[in-house]
């Protein structure tokens, strides 16, 4: 019971405004202080994730700090779409589509279809020790996703997520160049939706607290739980709790990685601020 309470405390700390990257904290602070309205807040957060070159200078000073997950940003944009300007709707519509990647690989158990590139901006590490034509990074990611699926569905008992194509029911995963960990997106509208995952293409960026395959592990656990959550219900009010639970899931599956410890330093530097 004690460890469960401690885990919940950590997750609450992770979502406090002062625990966000500095540039995001500034956006959040300006919104809470009434300097910008909700539409401007959503737009700026969308810029931060998808078009950082459009951010005003005051929000770009520490842009190298990573965001853990962009799913809640996407949710805000989708659920308030009509409030955005036509120009911003066009911008985000182009940026929120599925990445166009040339290759795909089915995970060993056929539960996930992993899409990737071996050259260009979105290329994964091309190391292929077994010489089978599939990068080792992609193969290892496939095993990790299968493991997360069985843990979250079979061990913990969550419902299988809805599929977007009955003839191709595997969950799509796209490896895309990013300074962040990943995010979950969806194409359809409704109270429950099938979704797909965008993953960092190499987890090699020095700004990431957890890199390499451990980065893949915690992100797979986190984002696949979003896929499950979106199969239950899609409501704007729930996304803060979705994020809390997805961070909890990382620690539930991979207790020894502890990526979420990164949030503690913000709290310990701001102990004068109430939870």
Say which DSSP state 204 is in: -
Task: Give the model's pLDDT for residue 275.
Answer: 55
Percent of the chain with pLDDT over 90: 61
Is 120 among the domain residues? yes
Is 274 among the domain residues? no
- Across residues 140-161, what is the average pLDDT? 98
Is 273 among the domain residues? no
Tokens of 57: 């200078």
- For residues 212 and 29, the model is more confident at 212
Answer yes or no: is pLDDT of 4 > 60. Answer: no
Answer yes or no: is pLDDT of 177 > 80. Answer: yes
Task: Give the model's pLDDT for residue 156.
Answer: 98
Pick the range with the lowest mean pLDDT from 20-29, 40-49, 66-75, 137-146: 20-29
Distance CA 26, CA 238 (A): 23
- For residues 252 and 7, the model is more confident at 252
Is 275 among the domain residues? no
Structural domain boundaries, residue 210 = 2-268
State how many domains the chain has: 1
Answer yes or no: is pLDDT of 13 > 70. Answer: no
Average pLDDT over the chain, rounded to whole?
Answer: 87
Pick the range with the lowest mean pLDDT from 7-16, 53-62, 181-190, 242-251: 7-16
Classify each residue of 209-233 as buried b or exposed e, where b means 16 or more C-beta atoms within 10 Å of its C-beta.
bbeeebbbbbbbbbbbbbbbbbbee
Tokens of 173: 């995963």
Q: What is the pTM of this model?
A: 0.87
Answer yes or no: is pLDDT of 17 > 50. Answer: no
Answer yes or no: is pLDDT of 141 > 90. Answer: yes
- Across residues 236-260, what is the average pLDDT? 91
Is 66 among the domain residues? yes
Task: Give the model's pLDDT for residue 20.
Answer: 52
Tokens of 146: 């299968």
Tokens of 120: 């260009």
User: Confidence class of residue 61 from pLDDT cuts 50, 70 and 90?
Assistant: low
Is 39 among the domain residues? yes
- For residues 22 and 197, the model is more confident at 197
- Across residues 152-164, what is the average pLDDT? 97
Name the β-bridge partners of 155. none
Q: How many CA atoms lie within 13 A of 192 on its CB side?
A: 11
Percent of the chain with pLDDT over 70: 86
Is 240 among the domain residues? yes
Is 41 among the domain residues? yes
Distance CA 51, CA 126 (A): 27
- Across residues 90-95, what is the average pLDDT? 93
Answer yes or no: is pLDDT of 2 > 50. Answer: no
22-31, 128-137, 189-198 — which one is most confidently predicted on average? Answer: 128-137
User: Confidence class of residue 198 from pLDDT cuts 50, 70 and 90?
Assistant: very high
């Amino acid at each position: 019971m004690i460890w469960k309470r401690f885990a919940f405390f950590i997750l609450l700390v992770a979502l406090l405004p002062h625990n966000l990257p500095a540039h995001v904290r500034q956006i959040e602070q300006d919104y809470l202080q009434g300097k910008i309205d909700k539409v401007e807040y959503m737009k700026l957060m969308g810029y931060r994730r998808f078009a950082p070159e459009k951010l005003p200078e005051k929000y770009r000073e520490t842009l190298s700090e990573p965001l853990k997950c962009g799913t809640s940003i996407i949710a805000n944009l989708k659920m308030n779409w009509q409030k955005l300007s036509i120009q911003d709707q066009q911008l985000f519509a182009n940026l929120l589509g599925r990445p166009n990647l040339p290759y795909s690989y089915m995970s060993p158990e056929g539960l996930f279809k992993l899409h990737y590139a071996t050259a260009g901006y979105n290329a994964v590490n091309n190391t292929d020790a077994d010489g089978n034509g599939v990068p080792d990074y992609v193969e290892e990611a496939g095993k990790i996703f299968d493991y997360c699926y069985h843990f979250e569905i079979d061990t913990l008992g969550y419902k299988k997520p809805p599929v977007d194509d009955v003839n191709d029911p595997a969950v799509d995963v796209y490896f895309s160049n990013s300074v962040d960990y990943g995010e979950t997106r969806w194409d359809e509208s409704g109270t429950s939706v099938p979704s797909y995952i965008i993953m960092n293409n190499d987890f090699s960026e020095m700004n990431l607290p957890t890199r390499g395959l451990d980065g893949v592990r915690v992100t797979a656990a986190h984002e696949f739980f979003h896929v499950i959550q979106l199969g239950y219900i899609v409501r704007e009010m729930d996304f803060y709790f979705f994020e809390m639970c997805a961070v909890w899931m990382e620690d539930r599956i991979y207790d020894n990685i502890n990526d979420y410890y990164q949030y503690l330093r913000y709290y310990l530097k701001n102990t004068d601020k109430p939870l």
